[in-house]
Amino acid sequence: MTYAVILKLGLDGVIKENMQLYPLLLSLANQRAIKKAIVPFCALDKLSKIPHVEFYGVKTLDEAITLLKNPQVAEATTLQSEIEYPFYEIDGEKYYYIKEYDEDFLDVKGQEVAKRAALIAAAGFHNILLEGSPGCGKSMIAKRMRYILPPMRSDEILELAKLEAFEMKEPQFKPHRTMRSPHHSSTLASVFGGGSQKAIIGEVGLSTGGVLFFDELPHFSKGVLEALREPMQDNKIRISRVNSKVEYPSDFLFIGAMNPCPCGNLLNDHLECRCSDLEIQRYKNRLSDPFLDRIDICVVMQNVSKADSSSYSSKELHKQVVQAHIFSKERGQKNFNAKLSDAEIEIYCVMSDSAREVLDTATQRFTLSFRSIKKVQKVARTIADLAQSQMIEKEHILEALSYRRRV
C-alpha cells in the first residue's frame, strides 16, 4: 500500500498545517497521481472534501510512523466529508447554491434595461459593458451580479477553495462565485500574473469561475486591455518566464463599466459636458474594436430620476437564473451559453424560421462579423432559456440585437 506523506513538522514533533497543502493535494488528485495521503489531522475536514483520495490524519510524527508500519489501524481515521449546502441533481451531477444576498438589487432604483441585461449576462455568463453617467448605478449592478450567478458543481467549489488558499485565505467551500475588481492603476503582472523567479497567478486567474470587474474601463492601460483579449476568448492565460511556463484557466464573466466621456456628463440631461469632440474620441478609442468584439452585451444606462423605484430583488433574479440553468442542463448542455463552441451552437441554438430571417437581415444591414453573429445567437439562447423556450424565436433575436454595441 503506497501513501503520499505531506507533513509539516514542528520542533516538538507535532504535525502542523500548511496553507499550500490543499491546492497541492487537489492538483495531485485531479491528475490522479495519488490515492492515499497522510496529512495533518487538523486539516482533515478541509482536505477530505477532495474526491478520489483517502486521507489519514495524524497529530504527531509518532502517529505517522505507526500508521506506516501498521496500515490496517488507519482505516478508522479515514474521513470523507461532503459539501454542506443545498443542491439539485441533473444527470448525476450535483449543482450547489446558496441564498445569501449581502448586496441586493432592490437597492438599485430604476435602470430596468440594465437590470434585465445583468440578468441575461448572469444566466449565460456573458461579458457585459455598462456605460453611463457617474452615480447612475453601474458599480452597484456589477457588485450585485455575483449573488445571482448560476449554481456551482463540486469541482468548481473545490477550485475556488484552491484559489482562496493561494491568497493565504482559509477556504470556505461556499457555492458563492468569486469577484475580482483590480484598480485601473494595476500593473500587467498583477492582473495577469508574473514574477521574476516563478509565475505567480494574477487577478485574471483568480477570477476563474466568477466575475472579473473592471471599473473605469478606459483608464486601464492599453497593454492590460489588449492582453485581456486572449483569456476572454480562450478561457486560459499563459505566463512565460525564463524558469517556468504556466497555463492557468481563466473562465470568467467580464464586467466593464465606463463613463460616456472623460468628464462623465455627456449623457446627463442636467449637467453640461466639458469635453471636446477630440477628447471624447480619444477616450473611446482606448477600447479597441477587437477588445469590444469580445463583449456580448453593451448597455447605455439611463439618467437617475427621483421617480425611479425598486423592482426585482436579488432573490427573484437568482431564482430566474437557476430555472434557466436547470432548463439548459436538462437538454444535455454542459457549458454556459457564452462558452458554447461553434459545434455546440449548431446543436443548441436552434432558431425558428422567423428568427433566422431577422438575424440574416441584421447581418446584412449591420455587416455583422462571424463572431458577432455567434454572440447574438448565444445571447438569444440565454433569453430563450429565461423564457423556458426550447427554440430561439424572433423576439429573442430582436432583444439580443438590442444589446449590440452602437458604433
CATH code for the domain of 65: 3.30.230.10
The domain of 201 spans 93-300
Work out how many domains the chain is built from and give that number.
3
The answer as to whether 334 is a domain residue is: yes
Same domain, 243 and 331: no
- 114 or 54, greater pLDDT: 114
Question: For residue 213, what is the domain's CATH number?
Answer: 3.40.50.300
Tell me the average pLDDT of the chain: 88
**For residue 204, with 0-12 CB atoms within 10 Å meaning exposed, 13-18 middle and 19 or more buried, which class applies?**
buried
Same domain, 125 and 176: yes
Same domain, 101 and 55: no
Q: For strand 297-300 and strand 15-16, is the pairing parallel, antiparallel, or unpaired?
A: unpaired
Q: Average pLDDT, stretch 208-216?
A: 95
pLDDT class of 95 with cuts at 50, 70, 90: very high
Same domain, 211 and 253: yes
Reading the block at residue 135, the C-alpha cell is: 452615480
The answer as to whether 87 is a domain residue is: no
- pLDDT score of 67: 79
The answer as to whether 110 is a domain residue is: yes
Q: Which one of 276, 300, 324 terminates a domain?
A: 300
The answer as to whether 407 is a domain residue is: no
Q: Average pLDDT, stretch 274-281?
A: 94
Same domain, 144 and 217: yes
The answer as to whether 141 is a domain residue is: yes
Same domain, 256 and 137: yes
Tens digits of residue pLDDT in 139-178:
999 999 999 999 999 889 988 888 888 887 888 888 999 9
**For residue 246, with 0-12 CB atoms within 10 Å meaning exposed, 13-18 middle and 19 or more buried, which class applies?**
middle
Q: Which one of 274, 300, 326 terminates a domain?
A: 300
Same domain, 219 and 144: yes
Q: Average pLDDT, stretch 262-274?
A: 89
Same domain, 70 and 147: no
Q: Average pLDDT, stretch 108-124?
A: 94
Same domain, 145 and 109: yes
- pLDDT score of 325: 96
- Does 252 score more than 90 pLDDT? yes
Rounded to whole angstroms, the Cα distance separating 28 from 306 reads: 56
Same domain, 280 and 395: no
- Does 77 score more than 70 pLDDT? no
The answer as to whether 406 is a domain residue is: no
Long-range Cβ pairs for the range 259-263 (8 Å, 24+): 259/131, 259/132, 259/133, 259/134, 259/216, 260/131, 260/132, 260/133, 260/300
- pLDDT score of 242: 67
Tens digits of residue pLDDT in 29-56:
877 788 888 888 888 888 878 877 888 8
- What are the angstrom distances between the C-alpha of 96 and each of 68, 86, 101, 163, 211? 37, 6, 15, 18, 18
Percentage helix, strand, coil, to 5, in the chain?
Answer: 45, 15, 40
Q: Which of 8-17, 173-182, 368-377 has the lowest mean pLDDT?
A: 8-17
Rounded to whole angstroms, the Cα distance separating 375 from 233 reads: 12
- pLDDT score of 274: 93
Q: Assess contact for 376 and 399: CB atoms under 8 A.
A: no
Q: What is the CA radius of gyration of the chain?
A: 24
- pLDDT score of 76: 44
Reading the block at residue 52, the C-alpha cell is: 478520489
- The enclosing H or E element of 190 equals helix 188-192
Same domain, 40 and 175: no
- Does 80 score more than 60 pLDDT? no
Same domain, 183 and 295: yes
- pLDDT score of 311: 85
The answer as to whether 84 is a domain residue is: no
Question: For residue 391, what is the domain's CATH number?
Answer: 1.10.8
Tens digits of residue pLDDT in 176-204:
999 999 999 999 888 988 766 666 788 99
pLDDT class of 74 with cuts at 50, 70, 90: low
pLDDT class of 363 with cuts at 50, 70, 90: very high
User: Which are the contacts of 187, defined by CB distance < 8 A and separation ≥ 6?
Assistant: none
Q: Which one of 17, 51, 77 terminates a domain?
A: 77
The answer as to whether 69 is a domain residue is: yes
The whole model's pTM is what? 0.89
Q: Average pLDDT, stretch 292-320?
A: 90
- pLDDT score of 79: 53
- Does 21 score more than 90 pLDDT? no
